[in-house]
């Protein structure tokens, strides 16, 4: 759709604002290529190539059943919108007849690093697979626009960036769209997947975006980041994204998109615009006002707070420490929080931090040195295989609870290999589910804030993946307690509670004459809280059968014990 110069500048300003709030690492502001789909009729042949050649053998790579054609009925511009149309109709090409037709458009433009915005309304019909995606310009794929001249590399070594896909995630809720990356280290059923819910999908237009820098690739829906791919150590196996890529628009039919209903006739993806932004202005000014300081510190992480200004709008930061190097970027003038992970407790760390811009201009006083010492661990950890809902676990899961001030960081790792994995932290009373942050691989974390030291919290995790879901058992943790090693001290071992399992009376024989005891059930409800002496009997006759947790606090510290009520 055509826009005038004033509108363009306005939209760019909105783009920059959205990017800043969305915390993409590099803001791209110069429009370098676009199609506004102004002229009715056939697509602009100077910008788009119809990819119609079938792969060897006549079948597409994921079992799709359509012919891609250059027919005007499968791709055309009308009223400022590109229409990519999948139709049910017999069509013979290259000696093969198929029952469905569609279009697959390649951009005749390729680029390295930048931002793509595509405003589109996509079909949600069963059996359709609409996609907005990218492939390496060097991909060896017969029939692709760049193949004859540049096709030297097989998939997935060329790299694939899927900006938007729909219709291939039956385990996900309605209105779910996903983004994915395919690399030599993870392809096909790749684990590099992120997704989000788009309101009123199929009826409303949404802006699907991808922001690609030398450091990370972020995916946005309507200006909000929902997934970022950022391998800590980049290799050709996990990061083939250092060469030019081009855009593809298509609707596939069937295959992994599922069964096509017998009453299907056609479905259309309407595209308002496709825009690519880069930074093209020559920059010879170094960053200014560079600051680096320490933020939150835990037993395994140290937060670095970085900020600097640069006329280009973006700043690169390079952090060097005993554990390696971290390279990243952030918009100019916006404080960046960098969490340095996998540190040892009670250890001093020194960080050398430098600032530069994308053109390589260095801050005049590089580097800044900052130091911090990690804390001791206050928390619990363990492993289990118990499932309370959905599919059973095979290898199971690891979990940890760590108290940080009045917050509790909860981390779960699924040991069973799954595709399309997302995790939700589940609280039972009152019931709630909160999506957890993917830390790396199949490790997910979420921090619950504002907890009371000494209170008991209970959480489980729902792992959702392609083909189903599994839910862990509810795990109780006393905020502020340290039971990670599960090894009793000498004083703990002298403290007796018996019998266990208990019928009516639980006998306590403790090491101190002044003990605070609390008895809670698996949901965290307190059934007893009192102060007792060294010898005490607890009446449990009114308790329902089940698992309870006994907390004992005295001069020897805090201990936790599991009690089974018959």
CA dist 403 and 380 (Å) reads 9
Q: Outline where 207-261 has alpha helix (H).
A: none
| Cα dihedral 191/197/198/202 (nearest 10) | 80
Among the options 64, 141, 160, 413, which is catalytic? 160
Among the options 141, 165, 270, 402, which is catalytic? 165
CA dist 353 and 218 (Å) reads 24
* CA-to-CA dists, residue 286 to 220, 289, 358, 363, angstroms: 30, 10, 10, 6
CA dist 144 and 28 (Å) reads 28
Sign (positive or negative) of CA dihedral 17, 18, 23, 25: negative
Is 89 designated active site?
no
| Phi, then psi, of 512 in degrees rounded to 5 | -120, 155
The full DSSP string for 284-351 is: ----EEEEEEEEEE-SS-EEEEEEEE-TTSEEEEEEEETTEEEEEEEETTS-EEEEE-SPPTT-EEEE
- Which pair of structure tokens corresponds to residue 534? 């060294």
| Continuous segment of H or E residues that includes residue 274 | strand 266-278
CA dist 168 and 157 (Å) reads 23
* CA-to-CA dists, residue 391 to 258, 341, 394, 396, 551, angstroms: 22, 32, 9, 11, 33
The C-alpha angle with vertex 160 and arms to 159 and 165, in degrees rounded to 5, equals: 165
Is 165 designated active site?
yes
| Greatest alpha-carbon span in the chain | 91
Ramachandran bin of 166, using left for φ above 0, alpha for ψ from -120 to 50, beta for the remaining angles: beta
Give 10's contacts (C-beta < 8 A, 6+ positions apart): none
Residue entry with tokens 């791919």: 229
Collapse the DSSP code of 522 into the 3-class scheme (helix H, G, I; strand E, B; otherwise coil) and give the result: coil
Sheet arrangement for strand 443-448: 379-384, 397-404, 407-414, 443-448, 437-440
**Residue 454: which of 512, 517, 396, 400 has the closest Cα?**
517
**Residue 409: which of 418, 400, 417 has the closest Cα?**
400
Q: CB–CB of 403/379 below 8 Å?
A: yes
Catalytic residues: 160, 165
């Amino acid at each position: 759709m055509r826009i005038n110069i004033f509108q363009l500048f306005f939209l760019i300003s909105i783009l920059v604002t959205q990017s800043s709030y969305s915390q993409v690492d590099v803001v791209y502001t110069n429009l370098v290529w676009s199609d506004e789909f102004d002229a009715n009729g056939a697509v602009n042949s100077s910008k788009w190539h119809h990819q119609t050649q079938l792969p060897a053998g006549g079948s597409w790579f994921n079992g799709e059943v359509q012919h891609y054609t250059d027919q005007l009925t499968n791709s055309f511009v009308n009223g400022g919108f590109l229409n990519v149309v999948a139709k049910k109709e017999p069509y013979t090409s290259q000696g093969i007849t198929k029952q469905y037709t569609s279009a697959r458009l390649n951009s005749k433009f390729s680029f390295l690093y930048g931002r793509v915005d595509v405003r589109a309304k996509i079909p949600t019909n069963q059996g359709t697979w609409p996609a907005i995606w990218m492939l390496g310009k060097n991909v060896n794929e017969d029939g692709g626009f760049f193949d004859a001249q540049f096709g030297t590399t097989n998939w997935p070594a060329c790299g694939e960036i899927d900006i938007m896909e729909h219709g291939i995630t039956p385990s996900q809720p309605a209105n779910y769209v996903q983004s994915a990356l395919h690399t030599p280290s993870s392809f096909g059923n790749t684990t590099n997947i992120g997704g989000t819910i788009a309101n009123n999908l199929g009826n409303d237009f949404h802006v699907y975006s991808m922001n690609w820098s030398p450091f990370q690739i972020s995916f946005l829906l309507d200006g909000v980041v929902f997934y970022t791919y950022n391998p800590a150590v980049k290799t050709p196996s996990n990061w083939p994204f250092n060469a030019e890529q081009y855009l593809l628009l298509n609707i596939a039919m069937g295959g992994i998109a599922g069964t096509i209903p017998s009453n299907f006739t056609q479905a259309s993806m309407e595209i308002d615009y496709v825009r690519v932004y880069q930074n093209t202005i020559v920059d010879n000014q170094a960053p200014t006002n560079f600051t680096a300081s320490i933020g939150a510190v835990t037993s395994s992480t140290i937060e670095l707070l970085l900020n600097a200004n640069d006329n280009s709008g973006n700043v690169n930061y390079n952090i060097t420490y005993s554990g390696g190097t971290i390279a990243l970027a952030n918009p100019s003038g916006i404080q960046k929080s960098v969490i340095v992970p996998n540190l040892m407790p009670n250890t001093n760390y020194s960080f050398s931090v430098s600032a530069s811009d994308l053109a390589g201009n260095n801050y005049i006083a590089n580097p800044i040195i900052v130091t911090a010492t990690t804390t001791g661990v206050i928390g619990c950890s363990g492993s289990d295989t118990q499932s309370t809902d959905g599919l059973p676990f095979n290898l199971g899961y690891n979990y940890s609870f760590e108290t940080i001030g009045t917050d509790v960081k909860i981390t779960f790792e699924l040991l069973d290999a799954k595709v399309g994995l997302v995790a939700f932290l589940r609280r039972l009373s009152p019931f709630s589910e909160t999506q957890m942050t993917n830390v790396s691989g199949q490790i997910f974390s979420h921090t619950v804030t504002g907890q009371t030291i000494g209170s008991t919290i209970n959480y489980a995790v729902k792992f959702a993946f392609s083909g189903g879901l599994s839910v862990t058992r509810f795990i109780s943790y006393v905020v502020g307690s340290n039971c990670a090693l599960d090894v009793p001290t000498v004083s703990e071992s002298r403290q007796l509670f018996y019998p266990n399992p208990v019928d009516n009376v639980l006998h306590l024989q403790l090491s101190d004459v002044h003990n605070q005891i609390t008895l809670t059930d698996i949901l965290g409800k307190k059934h007893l809280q009192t102060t007792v002496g060294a010898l005490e009997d607890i009446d449990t006759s009114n308790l329902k059968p089940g698992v309870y947790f006994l907390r004992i606090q005295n001069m020897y510290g805090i201990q936790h014990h599991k009690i089974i009520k018959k």
